[in-house]
Amino acid sequence: MGSFLLRRLWTMCWTLALVSALIFWIVNLPPGDVLTNQINQLRASGEASSVARAEFLMQEYALDEPLWKQYLIWVGAWPGPHGFSGILQGDLGWSFELDAPVDEVVGEAIWMTIALNFFVILFVYAVALPIGAIAAVKANTWIDYTATFVGYIGLATPNFLLALILYHKGAQWFGLPVGGLMGKEFADQPMSLAKLQDIMVHMIVPIIVIGTSGMAAMVRRLRANLLDELGKPYVTTAQAKGVGSVRTVVKYPLRMALNPFVADIGNLLPSLVSGSVLVSLVMGLQTIGPILLSALRSQDYFLSGFILLFVSILTLVGMLVSDILLAVLDPRIRFSGRKR
Amino acid sequence: MTPPPTDAASDPRDDPRRDPDAHWISDEPYDAEADLQTLERKDLDASTTVLIWRRFRQNKLAVISGLYLLVIYLALPFVGFFAPYHPGDRNADAIYSPPQEIDFLVGGHLVVTYPMVSSIDMDTFQPVFESDYDDPRPVRFLTRCSDPWTFLYLFETDFRLICPPEGASLHLLGADRLGRDIHSRIMHGAQLSLTVGLIGVFISFAIGMVLGGFAGYFGGWLDAAVQRSIEIIRSLPELPIWLALSAAIPANWGPVSVFFMISIILGLLDWPGLARAVRSKFLALREEDYVRAAELMGASTPRIVGAHMMPNFMSHLVASATLSIPSMILGETALSLLGLGLRPPAVSWGLMLNDALDLTAVEIYPWLLAPMIPVIMVVLAFNFLGDGLRDALDPYS
């Protein structure tokens, strides 16, 4: 198990390195970011102090260096103007648009994103497990068809539409708050019990909306797995021996079918994170989604680069967790590491 | 089995000259190959293609979805003919007009509509539209009206299937904030929204086939490299990267180039799934006897791949490609919705929904959400079709 973990962590590290390079390249693709515009403006003004400032900015952000060196400085693997100070050292860079350090800009939003995605995952598992299991046991009955139908609709309806409708109906029928992750009065306050409660209430609709698409896929997968297991001889044996029907399902086949279900978090997390970015934009949640969009629009590349990197890290961690879970659940994977 | 005849003299088979050991021989015709030719299973009596088709046909939902998609894709070049308005036509009298009512067989006309009369509600200061039921107007068919539409960049015409009645409008699904007909815009928007997915899948298909094929057939470091890149691309969060890449499209590009860039972007992140499928198929098929046989007979690599291996996994790929089109259609919708995808004056479903992005729309102008319906229907149809294909692909199970 130890060697498996080490191997898996090593893979994750170099994947992360490559991903970060790719992200840095992508955010630097569009010509004319905020900083370059600023520098050009300063230069065009022709005043000595402005030109000097432009030179200073060039120096400060190593803009005269080739892109690969800029990347290494950003990561913190190459001495920049201030020595080694990059993401590895905890210096996330500077947001030119908002004129504030990146970690200040994204601070709370990151925790909100993590919290939101965590609850969404809980929700998905809590709802998908019983529905999937019942759909499989009652295969080809109206329960199954309803579950399948709802699943398909969840798959096909874009999240933002669901968000709008649920907000509308939620406010109309249950008096749920519309938009945002917390009431205005709590926005700048430290965490308190009242604030926590307010956030919880605000999260209900977003969790349902973001969770629905992942849930649909989950239900279908669990149903398929469980159906496969239910057809196996050991189930017949259990039935023939007179084991109760609930026990027959829960004790053996469900356990077997759970393996891929649990491990599916590796697929679930990326899609949830992606989905939550879009939904946050539409619903005005204070997660990193809206910050990312505005950073991309204004080509504030330290900010957008860091957010993309963060989302990728979430994704990679999700995959790592799923691999570890699978290895814990299924010894065959643990021991069949190298030989291929 | 009949017992041997007792009358020795009359039966030629007992003639010792014919069979010295006097064994009984059945006179039924004997075919040494018969065993090989009988089918193991009765239903497997045709080529794989026929079997797949037979299995697919049983899934009514998939067949209907397939037909539906076929019809709408074939109709795409002719949407100008079917839509009553040009997508850019503004009708200042119909701003935020709700869907108009129609009636059948009134006053000797096939279809009539009622002109909308607008007034301002002095309490809410919102325009209120009411149908003037005393003034039914016949909807015109197969005549000329509105701005001309262009058929495949070839020629322009203003000949249309449905035309609004003389002196009145025909907004079957209402009108948007500029008084443009939503029904016509949905039909025109289909052209971009539906082809984006198709082109994107084509690109992802091409990349996936080539890389997956090379990796699977040649193995070694090439395989390792492709597999690593698959892992990396799969670990990128799809939508944020789409956003980042679309943000990189220069703002001064024309709608057509933007459209192609968006398709390419959508395709660029989708290929790992396909490449993986191709690779594993290649790995499995490479060991098959018939591939070995072809190799020993001196067939060239392209021939082995093209003539022997491709037919075996093509159907699988088509099924998985079908299943990945919906995510691209939704992707385009999301990108355009956020203002990073297609840009006006292009018309797409995502762009139309951009107008409907707040609760006011849901509350007061719910018909602005109408483009949702075709999005959901097309996505569902692709899912049903893809599922049907996937289930039909293995007729031997």
- If you write DSSP's letter for every residue of A298-328 in order, what string do you get? HT-HHHHHHHHHHHHHHHHHHHHHHHHHHHH
pLDDT tens string B140-181: 888 787 777 777 777 877 788 888 877 777 888 888 888 888
Please answer yes or no on whether A23 and B231 come within 8 Å at the CB atom: no
pLDDT at A340 over 50: no
Taking any CB pair shorter than 8 Å as contact, residues of chain B touching chain A are: 231-232, 234-241, 243-245, 247-250, 326, 330, 333-334, 337-340, 353, 356-359, 361-363, 369, 372, 375-376, 379-380, 383-384
How distant is the Cα of B105 from the closest Cα of chain A, in angstroms?
36
CA end-to-end span of chain A: 18
Of A152, A299, A311, the CB nearest to B237: A311
Please answer yes or no on whether B244 and A23 come within 8 Å at the CB atom: yes
How distant is the Cα of A11 from the closest Cα of chain B, in angstroms?
10
* pLDDT the model gives residue B16: 52
Please answer yes or no on whether B380 and A270 come within 8 Å at the CB atom: no
How distant is the Cα of B24 from the closest Cα of chain A, in angstroms?
46
User: CA nearest A297 in B: which residue?
Assistant: B247
What is the pLDDT averaged over residues B81-99? 82
Q: Which residues of B271-281 are buried (b: 16+ CB within 10 A; e: fewer)?
A: bbbbbbbbbeb
User: CA nearest A304 in B: which residue?
Assistant: B244
User: CA nearest B248 in A: which residue?
Assistant: A30
What is the pLDDT averaged over residues B184-209? 89
A175: left (phi over 0), alpha (psi -120 to 50) or beta: left
Residues 150-189 of A with CB under 8 A from B: 152-153, 155-158, 160-161, 164-165, 167-168, 178
Distance of CA A156 to the CA centre of its chain: 20
- Residue ranges and CATH numbers for the domains of chain B are 100-170 (no CATH), 184-393 (1.10.3720.10)
pLDDT at B69 over 90: yes
Q: What percent of chain B has pLDDT over 70?
A: 92
Residues 104-143 of A with CB under 8 A from B: none
* pLDDT the model gives residue A337: 47
Residues 65-94 of A with CB under 8 A from B: none
In the numeric block, the tokens 């690779």 are attached to B279
B-chain residues within 8 Å CB-CB of A304?
244
Torsion angles phi and psi, residue A81, rounded to 5? -60, -25
Confidence of residue B64 (pLDDT cuts 50, 70, 90): very high
Confidence of residue A142 (pLDDT cuts 50, 70, 90): confident
* pLDDT the model gives residue A127: 87
* pLDDT the model gives residue B65: 92
Q: How far is CA B259 from CA A216, A234, B256, B344, B348, in A?
A: 30, 55, 5, 11, 10
Strands (E) in A16-56, as ranges, are none
How distant is the Cα of A192 from the closest Cα of chain B, in angstroms?
30
Give the Cα separation of B370 and B172 in Å (integer).
11
Task: Find the angle CA(B94)-CA(B100)-CA(B105) to the nearest 5 degrees.
Answer: 140
Cα dihedral B356, B361, B362, B363, rounded to 10, equals 180
Task: Report pTM.
Answer: 0.80
- DSSP, collapsed to helix, strand or coil, labels residue B219 as coil
Q: How far is CA B82 from CA B66, B346, B352, in A?
A: 21, 19, 19
- Give the total residue count for chain A: 340
- What's the alpha-carbon Rg for chain A, to the nearest Å? 25
* pLDDT the model gives residue B291: 87
Interface probe with A: pick from B193, B235, B246, most Cβ of A within 10 Å: B235
Point out which residues pair with B151 in neighbouring strands: B155
B390: left (phi over 0), alpha (psi -120 to 50) or beta: alpha
pLDDT at B10 over 60: no
How distant is the Cα of B312 from the closest Cα of chain A, in angstroms?
24
